[in-house]
């Protein structure tokens, strides 16, 4: 039971890195000596120190000259296998070996082929006891974006839309009408800060002229991905401002203008969802929210290329309009957000 409690603390620490560590995973580390936490840390930002480094530095900060003897009799808890290779930082497995920890408890092994298990091998070779699989399911769920990118060679894909109580998604006359309330809008901005990118189609931009930023909350702006086959969106629109990096998939040109990256695609009428997913994977984009319009959402639904769908349903009804997408999946959470109901779906194939 104590192993699970300390691993749960690792997850609480790890999630603090959400939105800042991609394409790395979120990792927390807790160091325990004789039933007491003596140090803890988490991976705060991509390219900076990993969780294990921050946790050991915390022990040094807390205990000064005692730290060496304490660490030799301590157990480190970490939700993902300590890395065994040199990347932007040195291997964390080597750091734990250097300080001669007694035991290491791990949630998930590293999903990278060729790396999986190598951190564990280093620890065991140094005489450190290793336990794996503690809260394995919970640890994997936390890093579902990371595991999806590594195992499926594509980003974790979230679909998001709002619909009226009678199932309409947008007006037929292409006018702008809000469906969900202010609370839903603020939550949407929070979600944007947690993901790498956001995707919208040309029609959504032409009708709404959205900013696609996190201006209602504190957090980084996602990369804006716009599907504009013939580059029909005027450069006076918000997506061309300097607030966020913007990638425009089109059939005309590949070019870079300040923060605007034009990426040419061929035959965008075929396999568009798959092409977008592959391009984003090549760009090291680990997670993406598809916010519309209906045509883009349908492309991802029809190809079963999604991992989560977040659907707001308002109390208002319309006399007509464009029907909201229909999705088949498991509802794993239902929430009340202001006056709107939020249902979160996962595909049937997702365990």
Q: Which residues contact 132 (CB under 8 A, 6 or more apart)?
A: 81, 105, 106, 107, 109, 120
Catalytic residue among 12, 34, 40, 52: 52
In angstroms, the CA 11 to CA 130 distance is 19
In angstroms, the CA 28 to CA 12 distance is 8
Helix locations, the chain, DSSP H: 2-14, 51-63, 67-72, 92-98, 118-125, 136-142, 144-152, 182-194, 202-208, 272-282, 294-302
In angstroms, the CA 81 to CA 206 distance is 46
Indicate the DSSP class of residue 134.
T
- Contact between 252 and 262 under an 8 Å Cβ cutoff? The reply is yes
Strands 223-227 and 330-337: unpaired
Q: Does the annotation mark 52 as catalytic? A: yes
Give the Cβ contact number of residue 224 at 10 Å. Answer: 27
Burial annotation 93-106 (CB, 10 A radius, 16+ → b, else e): bbbbbebebebbbb
Can you say whether residue 133 is alpha, beta or left, with left for phi > 0 and alpha for psi between -120 and 50 degrees? left
Environment class of 117 (CB within 10 Å of its CB; exposed 0-12, middle 13-18, buried 19+)? middle
Give the Cβ contact number of residue 51 at 10 Å. Answer: 29
Interior CA angle at 274 toward 271 and 278, to 5°? Answer: 135
Strands 103-108 and 75-80: parallel
Question: Which residues carry out catalysis?
Answer: 52
């Amino acid at each position: 039971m104590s192993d699970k409690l300390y691993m749960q603390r690792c997850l609480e620490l790890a999630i603090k890195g959400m939105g800042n560590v991609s394409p790395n995973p979120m990792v927390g580390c807790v160091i325990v000596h004789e039933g007491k936490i003596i140090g803890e840390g988490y991976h705060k930002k991509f390219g900076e120190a990993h969780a294990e480094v921050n946790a050991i530095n915390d022990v040094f900060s807390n205990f000064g000259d005692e730290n060496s003897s304490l660490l030799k009799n301590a157990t480190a808890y970490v939700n993902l296998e300590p890395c065994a290779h040199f990347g932007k930082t040195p291997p964390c497995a080597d750091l734990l070996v250097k300080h001669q920890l007694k035991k290491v408890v791990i949630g998930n092994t590293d999903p990278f082929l060729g790396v999986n298990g190598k951190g564990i091998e280093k620890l065991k070779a140094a005489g450190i006891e290793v336990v794996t699989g503690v809260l394995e399911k919970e640890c994997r769920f936390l890093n579902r974006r990371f595991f999806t990118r590594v195992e499926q060679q594509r980003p974790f894909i979230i679909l998001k839309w709002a619909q009226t109580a009678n199932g309409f998604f947008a007006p037929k006359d292409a006018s702008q009408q809000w469906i969900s309330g202010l609370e839903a809008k603020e939550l949407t901005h929070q979600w944007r800060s947690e993901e790498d990118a956001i995707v919208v189609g040309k029609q959504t931009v032409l009708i709404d002229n959205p900013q696609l930023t996190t201006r209602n909350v504190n957090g980084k702006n996602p990369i804006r991905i716009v599907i504009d086959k013939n580059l029909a969106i005027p450069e006076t629109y918000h997506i061309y401002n300097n607030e966020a990096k913007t990638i425009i998939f089109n059939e005309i040109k590949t070019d870079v203008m300040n923060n605007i990256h034009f990426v040419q695609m061929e035959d965008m009428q075929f396999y568009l969802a798959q092409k977008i997913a592959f391009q984003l994977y090549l760009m090291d984009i680990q997670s993406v929210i598809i916010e519309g319009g209906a045509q883009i959402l349908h492309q991802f639904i029809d190809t079963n290329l999604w991992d989560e769908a977040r659907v707001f349903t308002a109390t208002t009804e319309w006399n007509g309009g464009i029907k909201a997408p229909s999705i088949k999946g498991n509802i794993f959470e239902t929430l009340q957000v202001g006056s709107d109901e939020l249902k979160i779906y996962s595909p049937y194939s997702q365990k």
